[in-house]
Amino acid sequence: MIQFDEKNSIFKIDTAGSSYVMGLADNEYLGHVYYGEKLSDTRLSYLLGMDVNPFTPKQKIGEKVSFMDCFPLEYPTQGLGDFRESCLAVRRSNGQEQAELIYKGYKIYKGKPTLAGLPATWGEDSETLEIILTDAVAGLKVTLFYSVFEGMDALAKSVTIENIGEETVYLTKVLSSSLDIRPGSYELLSLHGSWARERHMNRREIGYGSMGIETCRGISGHQENPFLAVVSEGTTQSYGEVYAMNFVYSSNFTAKVQKNQFDHIRAVMGIHPEHFTWKLSPGEVFTAPEVVLVYSGEGLGKMTRTYHEVYRNHLIRSEWKDKMRPVLINNWEATYFNFNTEKLLDIARTAKEHGIEMLVMDDGWFGYRESDNSSLGDWIVNEEKLQGGLKYLVDEVHRIGLKFGIWFEPEMISPDSDLYRAHPDWALHCEGRVPGQARNQLVLDLTRPEVADYIYDSIATILRSADIEYVKWDMNRPLSDIGSSYLPSDQQGEIMHRQMLAVYHMQERMLKEFPKLLLENCSGGGARFDPGMLYFSPQFWCSDDTDAIERLIIQEGTQLVYPLSTIGAHVSDCPNHTTGRVTPFSTRGDVALSGTFGYELDITKISESDRKEIPGQIEKFKKYNPLIVSGDYYRIASYQDNHDYDCYQIVSKDKKKSIVTFVQVHAKPNAKKRYIRLCGLQPDLYYQIGEEIYMGDTLMKAGLPIPVVFGDYKSMIFELNQLNK
Ligand code: DGJ
């Protein structure tokens, strides 16, 4: 529920368990009052602290800058005395850069508007507050949007900036959210990584000054996920306060926290101001991407479950989102570039015999691509490799009884390609410089409409040519050489954002033309695993590291925010191609079960004993997947923390079923049985596990006995079924 208490000048946004409160000083300045456990009353303006520092500009014009220096502005700007992290900077035609936003009015309504060209949360059961602020000098109207969804402790925030003046201005910084938090001992939690080591949880104390995470790579990146949480010191899975923010965007971002002279903490998030200048002519509107805030007063676990619910119900749109995904086999780790029709059909036949449902043909089927140094942009089937053509292959795969999926990397161009030879200016490049390559490739300039159209048509032509059910959309290098021979000089600062909008537009177009398509996004593994992408694809390839033990950490970090149904996870061959580690086939299967599940190996070549396990693994997938994708997720123990074992649990919404996955990473001599305390069960009801019966309360307080196992990397899945009363 959203309300405005006019008498107290208080806006109060309530979710099931939280309140987000803003108030007005002098009826002009919008301040942040409170975010936390739900409050009942609206007599809250005292929290703005104006009785302690009684010098609003109306009361004491001689101290306006001091007021700006400590007032908790809801949407802070630069240049007029608020010296903390800001959200908005505007350069006017005279070159000056300040903005002062004065409250003008508000609207409260049912529903939630879409964000022009951008992914965003949605939902009929939503309610929205718009607060309008203006700067009469710079000629700006800033609208702050706040939306909430029935039953979810989450808040979606976004901003539009409209030029209501008569001169063209340049936006040099537009962040999407700011949150002021009262003094306390807090830590910053983020998801850090690199290629093949994505989203490791990273926690550090928040001290004085600014700290945070960012990317300027044009992808959200392997290095930092666009997620940040300010957590009270000592926060655990079930204890502590959490203020979390997640950016619904897939390109450059900044997320900073700053502890100031008064020990207040400000946390901001938005498009990174580096490489960003947006020309805003009179009448134009700029829309900033959305931030999804979650508050939990009961630790990280509740935050996780809230994000999972919001994304499952209010972000992912694909018709696949609640459907069981086909068990696929991808030929990347099986063959890399070395395959042909016959090889793929061999894999498909053996896969079918073992219960696999879809073949995905990865990189290397087009142009003359035999390695990663050519042909991106030439989306024409290589018929020397795929003898008989693509349609023949797809039809044969269907005849065998499997669905068919295909790989693309649409945003890229190889210098060694017919496309580049014909259009060298279609790659991003800066005048007078040779553009830098990464993985032997350049980035297409998608700000040029004819390039985006050409690439879309090339891809669509392939998709129209055969009955293709799945697309893996890859992206394998960061953006550099940010220059476009298409855009005028005063719009070169728009390239990064325009590039992202073009990718979103292409995916939107593709899904419109092929609405049944199962789209998986991918970026050198998991470099674009962000909410922006989940709006288009219900799943994302999580990491090029398919080692089951490395995946425990990668998937723990990913599951902290993103639903299990979105996490691309496959069983691969051993020794693992990225770590050289050898793990039991069964453990690889159990770990992949907490994601989309599939295979990434040459099924014709693995050992007979491993192959024999596949039907049983698929049976487990079919049995547990409905619970895995819809249930509540509890992180019980973390191998990243204890360096010993990992354990997580999923409980159905009605608490009747649960599964617990336990992985013993390192065996110990003279080990004793462990008793692991479970979560989320019905305390006064009984659960059957194997032959044994336990009360929910006992399992949660005293623990589930885990037998001693011999050997490293051993996994177990326990199935719990509630007994009728
Ligand atoms: C990176 C992806 O993460 C891999 O799965 C594979 O598709 C390669 N690209 C292909 O080049």
pLDDT tens, 545-585?
A: 999 999 999 999 999 999 999 999 999 999 999 999 999 99
**Helix, strand, coil percentages for the chain (3-state, nearest 5):** 25, 35, 45
Query: How far, in Å, is the centroid of ligand 1 from the Cα of 688?
Result: 42
Distance 160 CA to ligand 1 centre (A): 36
**CB 244 less than 6 A from any atom of ligand 1:** no
Q: Is 158 in the pocket of ligand 1 (CB under 6 A)?
A: no
As a residue count, the chain comes to 725
Does 506 sit in the ligand 1 pocket, CB within 6 Å?
no
Ligand 1 centroid vs 333 CA: distance in angstroms?
9
How far is the centre of ligand 1, averaged over its atoms, from the C-alpha of 560 (Å)?
A: 24
Q: Is 536 in the pocket of ligand 1 (CB under 6 A)?
A: no
Ligand 1: centre distance to CA 406 (Å): 12
User: Residue 618 Cα, ligand 1 centroid: separation in angstroms?
Assistant: 24
Looking only at Cα atoms, what is the longest distance across the chain? 83
Does the CB atom of residue 545 touch ligand 1 within 6 A?
no
Is residue 332 lining ligand 1, measured as CB closer than 6 Å? Answer: yes
Name the residue of 363, 472, 546, 600 to mutate for ligand 1: max ligand atoms within 8 A of Cβ. 363
Quick check: CB of 357 below 6 Å from ligand 1? no
pLDDT of residue 50: 75
Q: Give the integer Cα–Cα distance in Å for 98 and 38.
A: 36
Q: Ligand 1 mean position to 228 CA, how many Å?
A: 27
**Residue 598 Cβ contacting ligand 1 at under 6 Å:** no
Contact 562 CB / ligand 1 (< 6 Å): no
DSSP conformation letters of 558-612: HHTTS-GGGEE--EE-SS-TTT-----HHHHHHHHTTSS-EEES-TTTS-HHHHH
pLDDT at 55: 82
Q: Given the DSSP bridges, would you call strands 657-664 and 328-330 parallel, antiparallel or unpaired? A: unpaired
Sorted by sequence, the CB contacts under 8 Å of residue 53 that are 6+ apart come out as: 66, 67, 70
Q: Residue 54 has what pLDDT?
A: 63
Q: Which H/E stretch holds residue 624?
A: helix 608-630
Where the chain has pLDDT below 70, the residues are 51-54
Atom of ligand 1 nearest to the CA of 544: 3
**Nearest C-alpha to atom 11 of ligand 1 is from which residue?**
363
Adjacency order of strands within the sheet including 18-25: 2-5, 10-14, 18-25, 29-37
The amino acid at residue 80 is L
Please work out whether the CB of residue 520 comes within 6 Å of at least one atom of ligand 1: no
Asked whether 411 lines ligand 1 (CB < 6 A), one says no
Q: Going by C-beta distance under 8 Å and a sequence separation of 6 or more, which residues neighbour residue 468? A: 394, 404, 405, 406, 462, 517
The DSSP code for 669 is: T
pLDDT in tens, 55-92: 889 888 999 999 999 999 999 999 999 999 999 999 99
Q: What is the pLDDT of residue 449?
A: 97
Q: Which two tokens stand for residue 570?
A: 């496959």
Q: What is the DSSP string of 488-536?
A: -GGGGGGHHHHHHHHHHHHHHHHHHHSTT-EEEE-BTTBTT-SHHHHTT
Please identify, by atom number, the ligand 1 atom nearest to the C-alpha of residue 525: 3
Q: Which one-letter DSSP state was computed for residue 713?
A: S
- Ligand 1 atom with the shortest distance to the CA of 372: 11
Nearest CA to ligand 1 atom 9: 524
Pocket probe mutation, ligand 1, options 476, 543, 600, max atoms within 8 Å of Cβ: 476
Domains detected in the chain: 2-314 (2.70.98.60), 328-419+441-484+510-630 (3.20.20.70), 636-722 (2.60.40.1180)
Beta strands 403-408 and 645-651, pairing class? unpaired
For ligand 1, atom 1, which residue shows the shortest CA distance?
524
* Active-site residue list: 474, 544
Q: Which atom of ligand 1 is nearest to the CA of 362?
A: 7
CA distance 478 to 195: 12
Please give the distance, rounded to the nearest whole angstrom, from the Cα atom of residue 407 to the centre of ligand 1.
9
Any residues with CB less than 8 A from the CB of 707 and at least 6 apart, and which? 673, 716
Q: What are the tens digits of pLDDT across the range 662-687?
A: 999 999 999 999 999 999 999 999 99
pTM above 0.85, yes or no: yes
CB of 153 shorter than 6 A to ligand 1: no
Best mutation site among 337, 366, 407, 599 for ligand 1, i.e. most ligand atoms within 8 A of its Cβ?
Answer: 407
365 lines ligand 1 (CB under 6 A): no
Distance 541 CA to ligand 1 centre (A): 9
The alpha carbon torsion through 519, 521, 524, 529 (nearest 10 deg) reads -150
